[in-house]
Structure formats: C-alpha cells, structure tokens
Amino acid sequence: MKHTSGYSREELLRYDRQIILPQIGMDGQLKLKNAKVLIIGAGGLGAPAALYLAGAGVGTIGLMDADAVSLSNLQRQIIFSESMVDQNKAESAKQVLEHLNSGIQVKAYKEFITPQNAEEIISEYDFVIDAVDNFEAKFLINDACVLAGKPFCHAGILRFQGQVMTYVPDGKCTCYRCIFEEIPDSSSVQNCSQAGVIGAMAGIIGSVQALEAVKYFTGAGELLTNKMYVFDGLTMENRIVRFPNRNERCRVCGENADIKSVKGNAAEYRRKGCAIQSM
C-alpha cells in the first residue's frame, strides 16, 4: 500500500533512518530513488560502494566488471562469498544487491570499460564511481565523464592508504587529469596485487565514494570537489589536499584541450598494455 508521500509502508520503514535526517528528508530519498549510478569495477572499492548505495535506495545501479571472482578477492571484496569463486563479478554482485534490496534495479555489464564502450554506457547514468585498479582505466573514466558532462568520484587505495576526489561538470572543477596529467608508465607505479592492501582500507574508501554519491544527489554537505581526501590507516591521520580550479593546460578540460573523444584517444589508454581491472 502506498503512503500519501508516494512511498510504500515498507519503503518508509526501510529508509526511516535516512528520511529523518534534515539533510535528506522525503525529497532527498526521492532523488535517490530516481538516481542512476554506474560503478566501474566490482572489487574492493566497488563492493562496499555498491552495498551502501543499494541499501540507501539508489534506484538504478550499474556494475561493470569482466573479471571472475577469485579466492584472493575475498580478503577485501566483501560482496562475494566462497560459493561465487570463478563466477563473473558483475553478475554475482548483482545477485547480492537484488537480495539486499528488491526495490531497486541492478544492471550487470560483464565487460571491462574500453574506449569503444565507455561513452555509450556512461551516458545512461547520472553519476559514476571509479573503482578500478590501474591508471589507464582511471584516465579513461575521467576523460569519458568530462567529455560527457558526467559527475564521478575517483578513489585509489594501496597498502594502508587511500584517496578520494569528486568531479562535477561545472566548468571550473578540477578533474583527475588536471592533477596527474599523463598516464604513468606501468613499471613505475605498483598496484594492489604487487604492493598489497589491507581489506578494511577498501571498505573505508569505497564507503566514502558511496557517501559522495548520496551527497551529490541530495545536496547534503560539501563534495570533495577541487580537493582530495587522503587517509592513512596506520596513523589514522587524514588530510584534505586542496586544488585551484581546473588546470588550463589539461588535455581534456583545459582551454586548448586536444582530447575530443575517448575513441580518438584510444592509443594512450592502451599503450602501457595494462589490463583494466577492479581493486
């Protein structure tokens, strides 16, 4: 039975703890219900982000990952169980989210993000979460979102450290490429499979990404735009690194940007020969 608010009694009960927040309320919950979020990488970061966004009532969640679940994933990718080993991550995570919240729509994309599919898939969503584990994919996500005018939240984790930043297409916001400019050589930077990562770090940082998405849709608080949140799990110290407005020399959002499409820039994303995977 529908309540006069337009929500069923079950929905009002499920989301009660959010709705009573003055920053959310009934209007904010409706915005979450109508929201569409794409999570690229259903791994260490994507798992907690997906679980909390499904729990929050985000109406449509896309999960994009071509990898299969492995035993080594279970240390941090908490959306999976032993019975899911060797199954596709996106499809397995979809089943978990549907069991958690039957009132949302979950789409599984059993493929990696590429210059060929990025623009089409991203265009269907209102907000994107970068939960991948290599620089080629991160630059690809950044460029595709900037060119399509889509907000997104970047995050990275390694060992006991993590970082998060958010981009919104307002013409002034610092994007990922504004800061890091060019894809580093894969031999110069280690990833989680090489350097290791503590599982709880993925939970902390992935949850921050989910929080950024909720804040974006509801207008609650301040987003991590033009700044980066940096957390050290060993010392429990955190800091905010602030950036000026966009880098005018940025190749995708600067005054003389030369990247006009991700398909046209495909060679750069692939030149290092690094697989696009989740953390």
Taking residues 191-197, report their average pLDDT.
Answer: 74
Residue 158 sits at φ, ψ, to 5 deg, of -160, 130
Amino acid at 150: K
Q: What percent of the chain has pLDDT over 90?
A: 86
pLDDT at 188 over 70: no
Q: Residue 165 domain-assigned?
A: yes
Q: Residue 1 domain-assigned?
A: no
**What is the spatial distance between Cα 65 and Cα 96, in angstroms, rounded to a whole number?**
15
In 3D space, the residue among 133, 158, 175 whose CA is nearest the CA of residue 230 turns out to be 158
Global pTM reads 0.94
Q: What is the model's pLDDT at position 153? A: 98
Buried b (16+ CB within 10 A) or exposed e, 117-151: bbbebbeebbbbbbbbbbbbbbbbbbbbbbbbebb
Q: Residue 21 domain-assigned?
A: no
Q: Residue 19 domain-assigned?
A: no
**What is the spatial distance between Cα 105 and Cα 194, in angstroms, rounded to a whole number?**
35
Would you say 58 and 32 are in contact if contact means Cβ atoms under 8 Å apart? yes
Taking residues 102-123, report their average pLDDT.
Answer: 97
Helix locations, the chain, DSSP H: 9-14, 16-19, 25-33, 46-56, 89-100, 118-122, 135-148, 176-180, 192-195, 199-218, 266-270
In 3D space, the residue among 183, 198, 222, 209 whose CA is nearest the CA of residue 40 turns out to be 209
pLDDT at 105 over 70: yes
User: pLDDT band at 195, cuts 50/70/90?
Assistant: confident
Q: What is the model's pLDDT at position 247? A: 93
User: pLDDT band at 204, cuts 50/70/90?
Assistant: very high
Q: What is the model's pLDDT at position 161? A: 95
The parent domain of residue 138 ranges over 34-270
pLDDT at 277 over 60: no
pLDDT tens for 149-180 read 999 999 999 999 999 999 999 989 999 999 99
Q: Residue 2 domain-assigned?
A: no
- Contacts of the segment 7-12: beta carbons below 8 A, 24+ positions apart: 10/103, 11/57, 11/103
More confident residue, 279 or 247: 247
Q: Residue 243 domain-assigned?
A: yes
Q: What is the model's pLDDT at position 272? A: 44
More confident residue, 252 or 245: 252
pLDDT at 136 over 70: yes
User: pLDDT band at 245, cuts 50/70/90?
Assistant: confident
Tell me how far CA of residue 240 lies from CA of 71, 224, 231, 237, 267, in angstroms. Answer: 35, 9, 9, 11, 34
92, with CB counted inside 10 A (0-12, 13-18, 19+), is buried
**What is the spatial distance between Cα 119 and Cα 70, in angstroms, rounded to a whole number?**
29
pLDDT at 3 over 80: no
Average pLDDT, the chain: 93
Taking residues 95-120, report their average pLDDT.
Answer: 97
- The CATH number of the domain holding residue 68 is 3.40.50.720
Taking residues 266-276, report their average pLDDT.
Answer: 66
Q: Residue 133 domain-assigned?
A: yes
Q: Residue 74 domain-assigned?
A: yes
Q: What is the model's pLDDT at position 187? A: 61
Taking residues 58-76, report their average pLDDT.
Answer: 97
As for how many domains the chain has, the answer is 1
User: pLDDT band at 68, cuts 50/70/90?
Assistant: very high
